[in-house]
Structure 1
Amino acid sequence: MIEPLVIDQFHFLRPEWLLAIIPATMLVLFFWRQKSSAVNWRGAINPQLLDHLIDGGSKKTARWPWLLLLLAWIIAAIAMAGPTWTKLPQPIHKKQDALVVVLDLSLSMLAEDIKPSRLVRARHKILDILAQRDEGLTALIAYSGDAHIVSPLTDDNPTIANLTPALSPGMMPVFGSDPVGALKLAKQLFKNAGATNGRVLLITDGVTESDVDDIDNLLSRSGYELSIMGVGTPDGAPIPAKSGFLKDDGGNIIVPQLQRSRLEELAKHNKGRYADISLNDNDVGFLLPKLTTELEDNTVLTEREFDQWHDRGPLLTLALLPLALLAFRRGWLLVLPLLILAQPQTSHAFEWQDLWERPDQQAAKALHNGDAKTAAGLFKDNQWKASANYQAGNFDNAAKQFAQQDTATSHYNRGNALAKAGKLDEAIEAYDKALGQRPDMEDAQFNKELLEQLKEQQEQQQQQSSDNGEESDQEKQDSEQQDQQQGDQQNQDGEQQESDQQSEQNQQGDKEKQRSEKQGSEQNSEQQNAEESEEEKQQREQQQAQQEKQEQEQSEQQQAQASEQDQQSQQQKQAMEQWLRQIPDDPSGLLRRKFNHESKVRQQQGETQREQPQW
C-alpha cells in the first residue's frame, strides 16, 4: 500500500544526483545541433553530384532518440535522488540501564564536616553522575521524614540536573529520615518502567538498625542492586541552626557521624558496593561501573519514529521499462550503463536542518540561544509557542496562546503576559481563574495583590490629574471674565472721549458759522466718519488680540496635558518594572508545593509514618 503524498514532508534523500541532469541536457543539445555527414560534404562537393556519391545523404537524421534518452536520464536522476515523504518505524537497540538515585535530605546532611557541607557535596556528585550517563534511564528520589519523586525514570538528564540544585531539607514537609519509604518508591519506579533489572544509588550519611532489616526484606530476590555512597566523616560535625547548633531534648548538641560499617554491610547484602564520597570520579566509577554491551540481556529492542525515510526512488524504475525496450535497437545498448540504479551508502536530506532536527528541536535550540522570536515561529506546541512569544516580548500573542488551555498554570502564565502588556484588569481576572482551580497557588495570589495595588495607584494619579484639569478650567473662565471687563471699560472710555471731542467741535462750529454753513456741515460729516472708522478699528484689534490669547491658552493647555500624559505613562512604566522586580524567583517553589501536596494526600489516606530519628 502506497501512503498518500504529504507535500510539506516531501524532499530528496540524495539531492546531489539531480546535478546529473545538467550534463545530460548539454550532451543532448550537442548531438541535437550536429549536422549530418551529407551537410558537411556540401561545402566541398557539387550538390548535383553529392546525391550520387553519398548513399542517403539527403535524408535527415532522426532526433527523437535523443529526446527519449534525455527523458530516461531525468527519470533515472530523480530516482537516484531518492524522493520521499514518509518515515519508517526504525527498530533500534537501546541499553537497558535503569538507575534510581536516592538522596538523603535529613537535617544531618547540613553538617559541615566536609566542606562546604554534606548536602552541597552530594548535589555536586549527582550532577557529575548525570553528566557521565549518556545512555540508559535515570530517576531521582529525595527523602527525609517521607519520600518524594523528584523525577521518574527518563533519559532527559538535563531536566534532572536543573532540579537538583533546588533540593534542601528546608523544602521537605516532614523532618526525619525514612530510607525504606524512598526505596519502596524506587522499586515502584522500576515496576512502572517495566525494568526487571536496575540499580539504586543511595547517597546518605547513615541508617538505623531497623532500616537495615527492612531494606534487606524489601530488596531480597527483587533483582535490583543497592550501592551506597557515604557522605560525611566518622567524627561528624554539629548541625548548623539559626542560633548556634541543633540540640536534642536534653540540650545536648547533636553531632551526626558517618555510619560506615553499617552502610557497607547493607550494600553487601543487596549485591551492591559502598564507597565514601570523593572529590574525583573514583567513587562514581566504582559504584556505577559501565555495563558490558556484549550481553544481549543488557539491551532492549524498541520501535520508534526515527529519522529513517522511505525511499520512493525504485518506483520510478517502472517508468523506465518502456524506454528500456528501445535499448535493444542497434547502438542503444551503449546507454544502458547510464540507466543502472545503484543505491549509495550515504544519504543527505535536501533540507539539511529538517533532516537532523525536528521543528521543535530547532525552536528549543533557538530559544536556548536567545532568539525567542525565531523559536515562536518554529514551535508547534501552543504552550511552548506562548513561552517563546512571552520571552520575545510579544505578550498579546502569548496571552492568547496560554488561554487555549484551561489549567491553573495556563491561567497564571496568561496573567503574567497580560500584566506585561499593561492590561491589569484582564491579568487580575486570569489570576482569579488560576486561584479558583488551585487556591494554594502562592505566586498567583502574590501577583494579584501587586496588580491591585498598582491599579489603585493609577486611579489615584488619574484622580489627581482630573482635579488639576478642573482647576485650570476655572482659571481660564476667570481670565476670560477679566478680559471682558477690561474691554468694556475701554469701550466706555472711548465713548466718553468721543463725546468730549464732539462737544468741542460743535462749539468751534458755532464760532465759525459765519464763514460757511455748507463747509461746517461737510466737516462734521467727515469727522463722524473718521470717528466711526476709528471705533471699528479698535474693536477689530481687540477681537484679534482676544483670539490670539485664546489660541495661545489652548496650545499651552494641550502641551500641559501631553506632558502630564507622558509623565503618567513613565510613572506607570516605572511602577510596572518595580512590580516585576518584586516577583520572587524561587525554582524550588514547584517542588515544595508538590511535596506538600503529596504529604497531605498520604495523611488523608491514613498512611502512618515509621519511627525514625528527627535528624
Structure 2
Amino acid sequence: MVSFTFLYPYWLIALLPLLMILPWLAKKKHKQGLIAPHLAEKLGLSAKTQTRAALPALGILWTLAVIALAGPSWQKSPIPAFSLSGARVLVMDMSRSMYADDIVPNRLSQARFKALDLLPGWKEGSTGLVTYAADGYIVSPLTKDSSTLANLIPHLSPEIMPIQGSNAAAGIQEAINLLKQAGHQQGDIILITDGLSQKESRDSKQLLGENQYRLSVLGVGTTDGAPIRLPDGTLLTNSNGKTVIDKLEVAPLRELARATGGIFQLSQPTDFDIEALIKATEKPVSNNNNDASKELEEHINGGFWLLIPIALLALLGFRRGVVIAAVLVLTPVDHAFAASWSSPFTNSDGLGYELFEQENFTEAAGQFSSPQWRGAAQYKAGDYQGAIETLSPLTDEQSQYNLANAYAQSGDLDQAESLYQSILEKNPEHQDAKKNLSLVQALKQQQEKQQQEKQQQEKQQQENQQQEQSQQQDGQQQNDQQQEQSGDNSDSDQSQDQNQSNPSQPQGQQSQGDPQNGQQKNDQQSEQAQSQSNDDQNSELNQQQGQTSGEQQQSEEQSPAQSAQAENNNGDQGDDNNANAVTNPQGQETQESVTASDPVLKKLEQVPNDTSALIRAQLILQAREKQAPEATDNSW
C-alpha cells in the first residue's frame, strides 16, 4: 500500500505568506501608473496582460517550491541495519604446556602480556574472557570495562584449573555460548594458545563451521619447543618417565584461522602481532546476507521531481541570453576527465605501492602482483610464513636477503644463517647481511647454551629423583625387617609366658583345661593390649601436661602482672555479662559469642583477599554444574 507523507511538513507554513501577497498584487494592478491606460494601449504596452500572466506564474512557482521543500514521499526503500559496536571473546590456553620456557620468561607470562596489550586496542564493543584446560570455563562475561579483564588476566594460571588437560574446542564452545547469550550472531574469537592436537583442530573447525564467528589465533612458543618446568621446579614427564618437550605446530593454527576468515600471528618481541590482531578484530564482522528482520524502511524524498517544473517557470522570468550565460558560468568543471586518463597507467603494483607507503601492508600484499614486493609486504605485515612461501622461488639477492630475514623472524635460525652465508659468498660487501648473520649466530649460541643448561638441570633432577627413590626403597626394606623382627619377638614372648603360666599342672589336667587355658590366653592378650594402649595414652597425656605446664611457667615468668590482671578481668566477667544482659538490648554480645563459637564464621573471617583463589572457586562451581569432560590426548 502506497503511503503518502511529507518528510518536512513545517515547510508548508510558507504557503501562508502567499495567501497575503497575491491579493495585494491583484489590488495593485488597478492603480494608475505614469502613462494613462488608453495611451499605453495606443503605444502597445500591455502592462495589464503582463501582470495577469505574472501573478499565476508566481503563485504556482511559490507553491511548487514549498511542496518540494516539504519533502513529499510516496515510496520506501529498505536499508540494512548495522551495529557499529562488535563483540569479541578472548580465549586463553591454561594447560600445563604453557609453563614451557622456550620464550623468556615462559609461555604463560608472554600470553598474559599479549592479552593485556590487546585490551586497550579494543575501544568499541564488548569483550569477554574464557580459559580452558581439559574443559572450558567463563572467567568474565561480555563487558565494556576493559579494566575488569586487566585485573583478572594476571591471576590466570594452570594451577587454578579444576581439571588438567588441553581441549581448545571446549574453550571455543564457551566463547560461542557467551556471544549467543548476548544476542550476537556474529563476532570475533581470539585464541591465545601454544598449539592444538589433531582432535582439537578437527573439533574446533566443526564448531566454527556451524556458526558465523571469526577466529583469530596468536601462537605462543617456538617450533623447537622446550621442557615444561612446573612451579615446584620439576620437569613434567609422561607415563614412561621421559621429559616432555612441547613444540608449537604452526600449520594447524594457521589453517584454522584462515578457514573462518581470521588471521594467525606468531608471538613476537615487537608489537606487530598485537597491531595486526587489533586491526583485524576491532570492527564487527560484516555480513552481506542480512536477514529481513535486520532491515529498516526509509522514505524516499520525491521533492526533487518538482525541480523540473520549477526550473522551467524560472526561465520565463529572465531575458534571452541571460540563462545561457548563467549556465556557462555556473556549470562546475569536471576534473574526473584528467583522472580517467591516468587510471589506465596505474596497475595493481602501483596501487600496492601506494598502500605500502601508507603502511597498510596487509592490503598491499593482496594488491602486488610482483612476488618481490608481495613478499616484502607480507614480511612487514608480520606474516613471516607467507613471506617465506612467496620469496622461496626467487633467486635474486634482495629476495634472498628478505627470505633470510623471514626465516630469522619465524625462529628458523639455521636456515637464516645458511642464506646469509650464501649471500655473503656472492657479495662480501653486503653489510646488512653481515650484521644479521652475527646476530643470528649469537642467538644460536645463546639457545645452545640454554639447552645445555636445561639438559644439565634435567640430569641433576633425574639423579636426585633416583637417589630419593633408592633412599625410599632402602627405608621401606628397613621398616619391613624391623616389623618382621618385632613380630618374631612378640611370638617368642607369648610362647614363653604361656609355658611359665602353669608349670606344675599334670598333663591330664592340662588336657582337660585346654578350653579354659585358651580363654585365659585370650584374656591375657586383651589385658596386655589394654594396658599397652593405656600406657600410650598416659604417655601422651603426660607429654601434653608437660607442654602446658611449660607454657604456663613461661607465661608466669614473663608477665606476672598480666596474670593478675587476667584474674581481675575473669572475676569481673560475671558482673559484666549480667549487666550486658540488661543494658544491651541490641544483642551485640550474643553476636560476638556466636562468632567466637561458630568455626564456619571464623573461617569466613580468615578468608584472604586472593584473586586467584576466588577465580579457582568460580571455575570449580562451573565444573560441578557440567558433566565430566572426555579424556584429552595428553594431560598437558
TM-score by length of 1: 0.38
TM-score normalised over the length of structure 2: 0.37
